[in-house]
Chains A and B, each alone.
Chain A
């Protein structure tokens, strides 16, 4: 069994300049490298088994985060664990 990781394709510097920086602007220009290279964007997988809930997820996140931005203020108190990621198998 082969378990590929999608992480390298999402941090490929040839497609995403400064891949470790959060830069929403890279998605705003339809001619940008990010937008013209959709095969690298494997967040929802690819092919016949691509996530069926992709539209649902984007809608749901936009609803939650858009409303959160309107109604709340929040702060992130950085700790030594702030950049650690706990992986779980599901």
Chain B
């Protein structure tokens, strides 16, 4: 059912937001580089942009700006605490305990955003972010069930929705940040590839770099898509996925 959050219509809404946020961050990076041209590591710089962009895509304006940066910092603490091997005992003062506090802080903001989205959509607001799309889908299904009969849809609590957003944030803040960082590195190490990316961008954007990029334009960038695919192949952001199968007895 979460597939409805990734329809083409939904992606177009997210893209508009991402384009705006990426430009905002690039302007900041360029201003910082003009002030201090010394080379710098980009890991946290890119991750920060990604968190900002992801949180706006997921929660739109239902989350205040300062909360975005607060969650970004808290989330890093959670990631740092998850070492490859550690004891799952949350004794006060340990990293695991700290991570649980960070998770609680992040969850409070996300639950609050879900509650606000429900009020906003119920009042007739238009979908402008992922949780809006989710709330609207449930609301529409409910209205349909009421008029045409049939089974009413399952409703999701603020907490359930916030947990999904939290899991999406996990994927976004580490895997996507890592993918983007490697791509910056790959393009810097291969200027001949960057030249070709720019040629394609020039053609598709017809020299207009200030207008937002659209989904149709991205569809027409086969070279850039090939570079992304290849960059992710050479340096996959996620190399191992643990899976745990559980057999359960059914009472039916």
Contact = CB atoms under 8 A, between A and B. Distances in A.
Are A and B physically bound partners? yes
Interface size class of A (residues with CB under 8 A): 35 or more
Given A51-B171, A62-B224, A1 B242 contact: yes
A67 B22 contact: yes
B230 interface: yes
B242 A3 contact: yes
B178 to A, nearest CB: 9
Nearest to B27: A71
Nearest to B208: A70
Given A6-B240, A24-B223, A63 B213 contact: yes
A4 interface: yes
A58 B232 CA distance: 10
A90 B170 contact: yes
Interface stretch (B90-98, B119-127, B134-142, B214-222): B214-222
Interface in B202-252: 205, 209, 213, 215, 218, 221-244
A8 to B, nearest CB: 10
Interface stretch (B64-72, B104-112, B152-160, B193-201): B193-201
A64 B22 contact: yes
B3 interface: yes
A55 interface: yes
Interface in A1-27: 1-7, 10, 16, 20, 22-27
A27 B6 contact: no
Contacts of A20: 234
Contacts of B201: 66, 69-70
A27 B11 CA distance: 24
Range of interface residues on chain B?
A: 35 or more
Interface string A51-87: 1110111111111111111111011110000100101
Contacts of B79: 88, 90
Contacts of B19: 63, 67
A27 B230 contact: yes
A22 B226 contact: no
B179 A76 contact: no
Contacts of B15: 59-60, 63
A9 to B, nearest CB: 10
B241 A65 contact: no
A67 B176 contact: no
A22 B234 contact: yes
B233 A41 contact: yes
A87 B236 CA distance: 11
B9 interface: no
A60 B216 CA distance: 14
B176 A61 contact: yes
Given A74-B184, A87-B84, A90-B170, A56 B11 contact: yes
Nearest to B200: A66
Interface of A: 1-7, 10, 16, 20, 22-28, 41-43, 45, 49, 51-53, 55-72, 74-77, 82, 85, 87-90
Closest 7 CB pairs of A and B: A76-B188, A27-B226, A24-B226, A70-B209, A24-B227, A77-B39, A3-B242
